[in-house]
């Protein structure tokens, strides 16, 4: 049996790398921490005396932990708390480095966020390990329980989807939509009624979710003036997000999901806004947070 102190010292040497690997796969700092902790438990219970490449062995362990977590997440469709995204980085008292965590959050690009929830667990593991951490497919195959050819195909499929998302994120149309939603949220926060009218189509429709009690009595609101009045000064906690690869918004004070807003945009104007507050509906969406 390996000396516990020796194991702990070697594990700590690789902790930051393991956290980076886990974060890339899971998209959540909290879940990445959980994955690293579980990896330590598994590592401490195995005989590593014959391991020549400790970093590679630990990467294998954390990858398998992440694969299990992704499969569990997929099967039970967990209650949404913006998990597929960079989370707010807070100072903690667990020895973590806030600066490093901020860098981790910035390391996941918009394109990756746009497809993160749509990649199946094996695609995600194969893509991250090969394209980001340069592991060979011979190393990846046993981690995901496939042969090398299948591992290569999974990574290739994921790569095409990420590249397609990058093209979308870089497109002028996407940028214009993002600017329009940003302008809407800014005007709403400041109570700028005139600016709100300028981004709304005159015949805009707001569909409010009866699952959100404050608006349950008004499921439909018609017209730019009525919609602008409803939003003026009332989006203090709203921020832009990606919803199914398109620009939307979320209101989640202190991480508690209240509702999301989906926007339909036609010819540079917001023509429809749909509020979704029912958690069962939100769980069906692929939601990822964007930096403002």
Report the CATH number at residue 58: 1.20.140
| pLDDT at 8 > cutoff 50 | yes
pLDDT at 237: 76
Is residue 23 domain-shared with residue 125, that is, in the same domain? yes
- Residue 96: band (very low, low, confident or very high) from pLDDT cuts 50, 70, 90: very low
Is residue 206 domain-shared with residue 62, that is, in the same domain? no
Is residue 138 domain-shared with residue 97, that is, in the same domain? yes
Q: Domain boundary at 169, 184, 201, which?
A: 169
CATH value at residue 247: 3.10.450.50
Tell me 236's DSSP state: T
Is residue 227 domain-shared with residue 134, that is, in the same domain? no
* Residues above pLDDT 90, as percent of the chain: 37
- Residue 74: band (very low, low, confident or very high) from pLDDT cuts 50, 70, 90: low
How far apart are the C-alpha atoms of 175 and 192, rounded to whole Å?
22
pTM: 0.57
Q: CB-based contacts of 6: which residues, under 8 Å, 6+ apart?
A: none
Q: Which of 259, 17, 188, 145 is nearest to 250 (CA)?
A: 259
Q: Which of 143, 140, 167 is nearest to 155 (CA)?
A: 140
| pLDDT at 226 > cutoff 60 | yes
Is residue 20 domain-shared with residue 141, that is, in the same domain? yes
3 state SS of 51:
coil
3 state SS of 217:
coil
Sheet holding 200-207, edge to edge: 220-222, 200-207, 269-276, 259-266, 246-251, 238-243, 287-289
Beta-sheet pairing, 259-266 with 246-251: antiparallel
Q: Which of 22-26, 91-95, 260-264 has the lowest mean pLDDT?
A: 91-95
Q: How far is CA 94 from CA 9, 91, 97, 98, in A?
A: 17, 9, 9, 11
pLDDT at 289: 61
Q: Domain boundary at 169, 190, 225, which?
A: 169
Q: Domain boundary at 136, 169, 202, which?
A: 169
Please check whether residue 7 is in contact with residue 16, taking contact to mean a CB–CB distance below 8 angstroms: no
- Structure token pair of residue 101: 């965590």
How far apart are the C-alpha atoms of 55 and 66, rounded to whole Å?
16
* CB atoms inside a 10 Å sphere around CB 30: 12
- Residue 72: band (very low, low, confident or very high) from pLDDT cuts 50, 70, 90: confident
3 state SS of 1:
coil
33-69 burial: b if 16+ Cβ within 10 Å, else e: bbbbebbbeebeeeebeebeeeeeebbbbbbbbbbeb
pLDDT at 82: 38
- Residue 116: band (very low, low, confident or very high) from pLDDT cuts 50, 70, 90: low
| pLDDT at 16 > cutoff 60 | yes
| pLDDT at 269 > cutoff 70 | yes
Is residue 162 domain-shared with residue 176, that is, in the same domain? no
**236 lies in which domain range?**
172-289
Is residue 101 domain-shared with residue 165, that is, in the same domain? yes
Is residue 125 domain-shared with residue 61, that is, in the same domain? yes
3 state SS of 270:
strand
Ramachandran angles phi, psi of 238, nearest 5°: -85, 145
Please check whether residue 219 is in contact with residue 210, taking contact to mean a CB–CB distance below 8 angstroms: yes
Q: Which of 85-99, 232-246, 278-292 has the lowest mean pLDDT?
A: 85-99
pLDDT at 242: 80
**Based on the structure, what is the number of domains in the chain?**
2
| Torsion sign across C-alpha atoms 96, 36, 53, 72 | negative
Please check whether residue 85 is in contact with residue 288, taking contact to mean a CB–CB distance below 8 angstroms: yes
Is residue 109 domain-shared with residue 242, that is, in the same domain? no
pLDDT at 87: 38
88: left (phi > 0), else alpha (psi -120 to 50), else beta? beta
């Amino acid at each position: 049996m390996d000396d516990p102190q020796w194991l702990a010292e070697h594990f700590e040497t690789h902790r930051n790398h393991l956290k980076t690997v886990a974060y890339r796969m899971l998209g959540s700092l909290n879940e990445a921490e959980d994955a690293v902790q579980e990896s330590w438990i598994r590592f401490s219970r195995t005989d590593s005396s014959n391991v020549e490449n400790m970093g590679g062995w630990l990467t294998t362990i954390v990858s398998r932990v992440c694969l299990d977590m992704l499969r569990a997440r997929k099967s039970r469709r967990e209650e949404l708390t913006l998990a597929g995204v960079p989370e707010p980085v807070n100072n903690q008292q667990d020895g973590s480095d806030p600066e490093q965590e901020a860098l981790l959050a910035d390391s996941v690009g918009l394109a990756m966020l746009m497809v993160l929830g749509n990649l199946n667990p094996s695609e995600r593991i194969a893509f991250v390990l090969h394209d980001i951490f340069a592991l060979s497919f011979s190393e990846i195959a046993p981690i995901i329980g496939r042969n090398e050819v299948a591992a290569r195909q999974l990574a290739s499929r994921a790569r095409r989807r990420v590249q397609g998302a990058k093209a979308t994120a870089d497109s002028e149309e996407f940028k214009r939509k993002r600017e329009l939603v940003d302008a809407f949220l800014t005007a709403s926060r400041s109570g700028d009624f005139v600016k709100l009218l300028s981004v709304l189509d005159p015949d805009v429709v707001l569909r409010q979710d009866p699952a959100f009690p404050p608006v349950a009595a008004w499921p439909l609101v018609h017209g730019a003036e009525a919609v602008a009045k409803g939003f003026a000064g009332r989006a203090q906690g709203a921020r832009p997000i990606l919803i199914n690869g398109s620009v939307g918004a979320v209101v989640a004070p202190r991480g508690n999901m209240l509702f999301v807003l989906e926007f339909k945009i036609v010819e540079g104007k917001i023509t429809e806004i749909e509020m979704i507050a029912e958690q069962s509906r939100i769980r069906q969406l692929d939601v990822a947070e964007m930096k403002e």
